[in-house]
Structure 1
Protein backbone atom coordinates (compact mmCIF):
# COMPACT_ATOMS: atom_id res chain seq x y z
CA UNK A 1 0.00 0.00 0.00
CA UNK A 2 1.57 3.24 -1.15
CA UNK A 3 1.26 6.26 1.09
CA UNK A 4 1.14 9.83 -0.07
CA UNK A 5 3.59 12.12 1.70
CA UNK A 6 1.68 15.13 3.04
CA UNK A 7 3.55 18.38 3.50
CA UNK A 8 2.40 21.25 5.72
CA UNK A 9 0.40 22.89 2.92
CA UNK A 10 -1.49 19.64 2.24
CA UNK A 11 -2.16 19.27 5.95
CA UNK A 12 -3.40 22.85 6.15
CA UNK A 13 -5.82 22.24 3.30
CA UNK A 14 -7.06 19.04 4.96
CA UNK A 15 -7.47 20.95 8.21
CA UNK A 16 -9.81 23.48 6.61
CA UNK A 17 -11.71 20.81 4.67
CA UNK A 18 -12.34 18.90 7.89
CA UNK A 19 -13.64 22.03 9.59
CA UNK A 20 -16.22 22.79 6.87
CA UNK A 21 -15.62 21.31 3.42
CA UNK A 22 -18.85 22.74 2.03
CA UNK A 23 -17.87 26.33 2.70
CA UNK A 24 -14.08 26.06 2.34
CA UNK A 25 -13.29 27.63 -1.00
CA UNK A 26 -9.86 27.47 -2.62
CA UNK A 27 -9.62 31.24 -2.28
CA UNK A 28 -10.49 31.23 1.42
CA UNK A 29 -8.05 28.42 2.20
CA UNK A 30 -5.33 30.14 0.14
CA UNK A 31 -5.77 33.34 2.15
CA UNK A 32 -5.59 31.46 5.45
CA UNK A 33 -2.53 29.49 4.35
CA UNK A 34 -0.83 32.44 2.62
CA UNK A 35 -0.54 30.65 -0.72
CA UNK A 36 -2.11 31.05 -4.17
CA UNK A 37 -5.62 29.72 -4.80
CA UNK A 38 -4.27 27.80 -7.79
CA UNK A 39 -1.89 25.99 -5.43
CA UNK A 40 -4.84 24.92 -3.30
CA UNK A 41 -6.76 23.69 -6.36
CA UNK A 42 -3.71 21.78 -7.63
CA UNK A 43 -3.11 20.19 -4.23
CA UNK A 44 -6.78 19.21 -3.93
CA UNK A 45 -6.69 17.57 -7.35
CA UNK A 46 -3.49 15.70 -6.52
CA UNK A 47 -4.80 14.50 -3.14
CA UNK A 48 -8.01 13.32 -4.82
CA UNK A 49 -6.05 11.53 -7.56
CA UNK A 50 -3.81 9.88 -4.94
CA UNK A 51 -6.84 8.75 -2.90
CA UNK A 52 -6.04 10.85 0.17
CA UNK A 53 -9.39 12.61 -0.28
CA UNK A 54 -11.93 9.96 -1.17
CA UNK A 55 -15.25 11.81 -1.00
CA UNK A 56 -16.99 14.86 0.32
CA UNK A 57 -20.07 13.82 2.26
CA UNK A 58 -22.33 15.74 4.63
CA UNK A 59 -22.74 14.81 8.28
CA UNK A 60 -26.45 14.18 8.68
CA UNK A 61 -28.85 14.24 11.59
CA UNK A 62 -30.81 11.13 10.62
CA UNK A 63 -33.48 11.71 13.24
CA UNK A 64 -34.31 15.15 11.84
CA UNK A 65 -34.30 13.62 8.35
CA UNK A 66 -37.06 11.19 9.36
CA UNK A 67 -34.99 8.17 10.41
CA UNK A 68 -35.31 8.14 14.21
CA UNK A 69 -33.83 4.68 14.77
CA UNK A 70 -30.10 4.07 14.53
CA UNK A 71 -28.65 0.66 15.35
CA UNK A 72 -25.13 -0.69 15.49
CA UNK A 73 -24.98 -4.35 14.48
CA UNK A 74 -21.88 -6.17 15.67
CA UNK A 75 -21.32 -9.11 13.34
CA UNK A 76 -19.02 -12.00 12.71
CA UNK A 77 -18.06 -12.25 9.06
CA UNK A 78 -16.09 -15.48 9.04
CA UNK A 79 -15.43 -16.68 5.54
CA UNK A 80 -17.04 -13.57 4.05
CA UNK A 81 -15.82 -12.40 0.64
CA UNK A 82 -13.08 -9.79 0.51
CA UNK A 83 -15.42 -7.02 -0.66
CA UNK A 84 -18.04 -7.69 2.02
CA UNK A 85 -17.91 -4.09 3.30
CA UNK A 86 -18.95 -2.71 -0.07
CA UNK A 87 -21.67 -5.33 -0.47
CA UNK A 88 -23.04 -4.56 3.01
CA UNK A 89 -22.93 -0.81 2.36
CA UNK A 90 -25.25 -1.31 -0.62
CA UNK A 91 -28.01 -2.67 1.63
CA UNK A 92 -30.97 -0.41 2.34
CA UNK A 93 -30.52 1.58 5.55
CA UNK A 94 -26.80 0.86 5.98
CA UNK A 95 -24.86 4.10 6.44
CA UNK A 96 -21.47 2.87 7.71
CA UNK A 97 -19.44 -0.33 7.83
CA UNK A 98 -16.27 -0.85 9.84
CA UNK A 99 -14.17 -3.98 9.36
CA UNK A 100 -11.90 -4.87 12.26
CA UNK A 101 -8.59 -6.63 11.71
CA UNK A 102 -8.93 -9.36 14.29
CA UNK A 103 -11.39 -11.08 16.52
CA UNK A 104 -14.67 -12.85 16.10
CA UNK A 105 -16.85 -9.73 16.10
CA UNK A 106 -15.06 -8.22 13.13
CA UNK A 107 -17.73 -6.15 11.40
CA UNK A 108 -19.64 -3.15 12.78
CA UNK A 109 -22.60 -2.04 10.69
CA UNK A 110 -24.52 1.17 11.37
CA UNK A 111 -28.09 1.12 10.12
CA UNK A 112 -30.82 3.77 10.17
CA UNK A 113 -34.54 3.20 9.85
CA UNK A 114 -37.98 4.63 10.35
CA UNK A 115 -39.33 1.71 12.40
CA UNK A 116 -38.35 -1.64 13.88
CA UNK A 117 -39.69 -3.58 10.90
CA UNK A 118 -37.28 -1.77 8.59
CA UNK A 119 -34.38 -2.63 10.91
CA UNK A 120 -35.56 -6.25 11.15
CA UNK A 121 -35.64 -6.49 7.35
CA UNK A 122 -32.11 -5.12 7.12
CA UNK A 123 -30.91 -7.58 9.76
CA UNK A 124 -32.44 -10.44 7.76
CA UNK A 125 -30.66 -9.30 4.59
CA UNK A 126 -27.37 -9.20 6.51
CA UNK A 127 -27.92 -12.75 7.76
CA UNK A 128 -28.71 -13.84 4.20
CA UNK A 129 -25.29 -12.48 3.20
CA UNK A 130 -23.69 -14.97 5.60
CA UNK A 131 -23.15 -12.60 8.51
CA UNK A 132 -23.82 -13.65 12.07
CA UNK A 133 -25.31 -10.79 14.09
CA UNK A 134 -23.76 -11.14 17.52
CA UNK A 135 -25.29 -8.03 19.06
CA UNK A 136 -27.41 -5.04 18.14
CA UNK A 137 -27.30 -1.79 20.06
CA UNK A 138 -29.52 1.26 19.64
CA UNK A 139 -27.28 4.28 19.20
CA UNK A 140 -28.23 7.34 21.21
CA UNK A 141 -25.59 9.79 20.06
CA UNK A 142 -22.40 9.88 18.04
CA UNK A 143 -19.98 12.75 18.27
CA UNK A 144 -16.95 13.10 16.07
CA UNK A 145 -14.31 15.63 15.38
CA UNK A 146 -11.71 16.21 12.71
CA UNK A 147 -8.31 14.61 13.20
CA UNK A 148 -6.45 17.42 14.95
CA UNK A 149 -2.98 16.77 13.56
CA UNK A 150 -3.65 18.07 10.05
CA UNK A 151 -2.31 21.53 9.54
CA UNK A 152 -2.21 22.76 13.11
CA UNK A 153 1.33 24.06 12.76
CA UNK A 154 0.66 25.98 9.53
CA UNK A 155 -2.76 27.18 10.69
CA UNK A 156 -1.41 28.32 14.06
CA UNK A 157 1.63 29.92 12.42
CA UNK A 158 4.12 27.49 13.93
CA UNK A 159 5.47 26.30 10.55
CA UNK A 160 9.12 25.36 10.99
CA UNK A 161 10.05 25.57 7.29
Structure 2
Protein backbone atom coordinates (compact mmCIF):
# COMPACT_ATOMS: atom_id res chain seq x y z
CA UNK A 1 0.00 0.00 0.00
CA UNK A 2 1.47 3.35 -1.04
CA UNK A 3 0.81 6.18 1.40
CA UNK A 4 -0.14 9.60 0.03
CA UNK A 5 2.06 11.92 2.10
CA UNK A 6 1.15 15.54 2.74
CA UNK A 7 3.42 18.29 4.10
CA UNK A 8 2.68 17.36 7.73
CA UNK A 9 3.60 13.71 7.09
CA UNK A 10 6.78 14.71 5.27
CA UNK A 11 7.72 17.11 8.07
CA UNK A 12 7.18 14.40 10.67
CA UNK A 13 9.33 11.97 8.70
CA UNK A 14 12.07 14.56 8.35
CA UNK A 15 12.05 15.27 12.09
CA UNK A 16 12.10 11.57 12.98
CA UNK A 17 14.99 10.88 10.61
CA UNK A 18 16.94 13.75 12.12
CA UNK A 19 16.36 12.80 15.77
CA UNK A 20 13.80 10.07 16.48
CA UNK A 21 15.17 9.40 19.95
CA UNK A 22 14.71 12.90 21.36
CA UNK A 23 11.95 14.44 19.25
CA UNK A 24 8.71 14.51 21.23
CA UNK A 25 5.31 14.80 19.60
CA UNK A 26 5.13 18.36 20.97
CA UNK A 27 8.53 19.24 19.48
CA UNK A 28 7.55 17.84 16.09
CA UNK A 29 4.15 19.57 16.25
CA UNK A 30 5.91 22.90 16.78
CA UNK A 31 8.23 22.20 13.85
CA UNK A 32 5.45 21.26 11.40
CA UNK A 33 2.77 23.66 12.65
CA UNK A 34 0.16 21.27 14.02
CA UNK A 35 -0.90 19.74 17.35
CA UNK A 36 0.91 17.02 19.29
CA UNK A 37 -2.16 14.75 19.05
CA UNK A 38 -2.13 15.12 15.26
CA UNK A 39 1.55 14.19 15.23
CA UNK A 40 0.89 11.09 17.37
CA UNK A 41 -1.99 10.03 15.09
CA UNK A 42 0.08 10.59 11.96
CA UNK A 43 3.03 8.63 13.36
CA UNK A 44 0.69 5.75 14.21
CA UNK A 45 -0.60 5.81 10.61
CA UNK A 46 2.91 6.06 9.16
CA UNK A 47 4.01 3.08 11.27
CA UNK A 48 1.58 0.95 9.24
CA UNK A 49 3.98 0.93 6.30
CA UNK A 50 6.20 3.97 5.81
CA UNK A 51 8.08 3.80 9.12
CA UNK A 52 9.69 0.38 9.36
CA UNK A 53 11.43 0.89 12.68
CA UNK A 54 13.55 3.10 14.89
CA UNK A 55 17.20 2.12 14.92
CA UNK A 56 20.18 3.63 16.70
CA UNK A 57 23.16 4.72 14.62
CA UNK A 58 26.07 2.73 15.99
CA UNK A 59 29.80 3.36 15.92
CA UNK A 60 30.95 -0.22 15.48
CA UNK A 61 34.60 0.64 16.05
CA UNK A 62 33.75 2.12 19.45
CA UNK A 63 31.85 -1.10 20.22
CA UNK A 64 34.97 -3.18 19.53
CA UNK A 65 34.37 -4.14 15.90
CA UNK A 66 37.54 -2.95 14.18
CA UNK A 67 36.54 -4.03 10.68
CA UNK A 68 33.47 -2.83 8.79
CA UNK A 69 33.23 -4.52 5.39
CA UNK A 70 31.20 -4.04 2.23
CA UNK A 71 31.00 -7.23 0.18
CA UNK A 72 29.60 -7.27 -3.35
CA UNK A 73 28.22 -10.62 -4.52
CA UNK A 74 26.61 -12.21 -7.52
CA UNK A 75 23.62 -14.56 -7.25
CA UNK A 76 21.25 -16.15 -9.74
CA UNK A 77 18.20 -13.91 -10.00
CA UNK A 78 15.82 -16.73 -9.07
CA UNK A 79 17.74 -17.35 -5.81
CA UNK A 80 18.61 -13.75 -4.93
CA UNK A 81 16.03 -13.25 -2.16
CA UNK A 82 16.70 -16.65 -0.58
CA UNK A 83 20.46 -16.04 -0.59
CA UNK A 84 20.04 -12.52 0.81
CA UNK A 85 17.97 -13.90 3.69
CA UNK A 86 20.49 -16.68 4.36
CA UNK A 87 23.39 -14.21 4.28
CA UNK A 88 21.62 -12.00 6.83
CA UNK A 89 21.65 -14.91 9.29
CA UNK A 90 25.47 -15.17 9.23
CA UNK A 91 27.50 -13.89 12.20
CA UNK A 92 28.60 -10.28 11.78
CA UNK A 93 26.23 -9.47 8.90
CA UNK A 94 24.28 -6.30 9.69
CA UNK A 95 22.77 -5.38 6.34
CA UNK A 96 21.99 -7.10 3.03
CA UNK A 97 20.73 -5.26 -0.04
CA UNK A 98 19.19 -6.92 -3.07
CA UNK A 99 19.84 -5.14 -6.36
CA UNK A 100 17.41 -5.53 -9.24
CA UNK A 101 19.83 -4.64 -12.02
CA UNK A 102 23.34 -5.66 -12.93
CA UNK A 103 25.29 -8.79 -12.18
CA UNK A 104 26.44 -7.64 -8.74
CA UNK A 105 23.02 -8.07 -7.21
CA UNK A 106 23.67 -8.68 -3.50
CA UNK A 107 25.54 -6.21 -1.30
CA UNK A 108 26.47 -7.33 2.21
CA UNK A 109 27.63 -5.14 5.07
CA UNK A 110 29.30 -6.85 8.00
CA UNK A 111 31.37 -6.05 11.05
CA UNK A 112 34.12 -8.08 12.68
CA UNK A 113 36.31 -7.70 15.77
CA UNK A 114 39.46 -8.55 13.81
CA UNK A 115 40.73 -9.97 10.52
CA UNK A 116 40.27 -13.58 11.68
CA UNK A 117 36.59 -12.94 12.40
CA UNK A 118 36.26 -11.15 9.05
CA UNK A 119 37.81 -14.15 7.28
CA UNK A 120 35.34 -16.46 9.05
CA UNK A 121 32.44 -14.25 8.00
CA UNK A 122 33.66 -14.19 4.39
CA UNK A 123 34.00 -17.99 4.49
CA UNK A 124 30.39 -18.24 5.66
CA UNK A 125 29.32 -16.17 2.67
CA UNK A 126 31.47 -18.24 0.30
CA UNK A 127 29.85 -21.42 1.65
CA UNK A 128 26.40 -20.28 0.54
CA UNK A 129 25.81 -22.28 -2.64
CA UNK A 130 25.28 -20.05 -5.70
CA UNK A 131 26.52 -16.88 -3.96
CA UNK A 132 29.80 -15.62 -5.40
CA UNK A 133 31.86 -12.85 -3.79
CA UNK A 134 32.91 -10.33 -6.44
CA UNK A 135 34.73 -7.82 -4.23
CA UNK A 136 35.33 -6.80 -0.63
CA UNK A 137 36.08 -3.30 0.61
CA UNK A 138 36.76 -1.92 4.08
CA UNK A 139 34.35 0.86 5.04
CA UNK A 140 36.21 3.79 6.59
CA UNK A 141 33.14 5.74 7.70
CA UNK A 142 29.45 6.08 6.97
CA UNK A 143 27.76 9.44 6.45
CA UNK A 144 23.96 9.77 6.53
CA UNK A 145 21.36 12.50 6.56
CA UNK A 146 17.58 12.74 6.52
CA UNK A 147 16.16 12.40 3.01
CA UNK A 148 15.56 16.06 2.15
CA UNK A 149 12.35 15.41 0.22
CA UNK A 150 10.74 14.43 3.51
CA UNK A 151 9.87 17.85 4.70
CA UNK A 152 13.07 19.84 5.15
CA UNK A 153 11.20 22.66 3.46
CA UNK A 154 8.19 22.43 5.81
CA UNK A 155 9.99 22.03 9.14
CA UNK A 156 10.53 25.16 11.21
CA UNK A 157 13.59 24.85 13.46
Which residue of structure 1 aligns with residue 137 of structure 2?
137
Would the alpha carbon gap of residues 69 and 133 (structure 1) be closer, same or farther in structure 2, given more than 3 Å must change? same
Output the TM-score relative to the length of structure 1.
0.89
Alpha-carbon distance between aligned partners in 2 of 1:140 and 1:30, rounded to the nearest angstrom = 37
Any gaps of 5 or more consecutive residues in structure 1? none
Q: How many residues align?
A: 155
Which residue of structure 2 aligns with residue 63 of structure 1?
61
The answer to whether residue 101 in structure 2 is matched with residue 97 in structure 1 is no
Which residue of structure 1 aligns with residue 15 of structure 2?
16
RMSD over aligned Cα atoms: 1.6
Alpha-carbon distance between aligned partners in 2 of 1:129 and 1:52, rounded to the nearest angstrom = 32
Runs of 4+ in 1 over 3 A off after TM superposition: none
Output the TM-score relative to the length of structure 2.
0.91
Any gaps of 5 or more consecutive residues in structure 2? none
Within 5 A, what are the aligned runs for 1:1-161?
2-49=1-48, 51-78=49-76, 79-80=78-79, 82-130=81-129, 131-156=131-156
CA contact (8 A) 2:81 2:98 kept: no
Report the alpha carbon displacement of residue 86 of structure 1 after superposing the two structures with TM.
Answer: 2.9
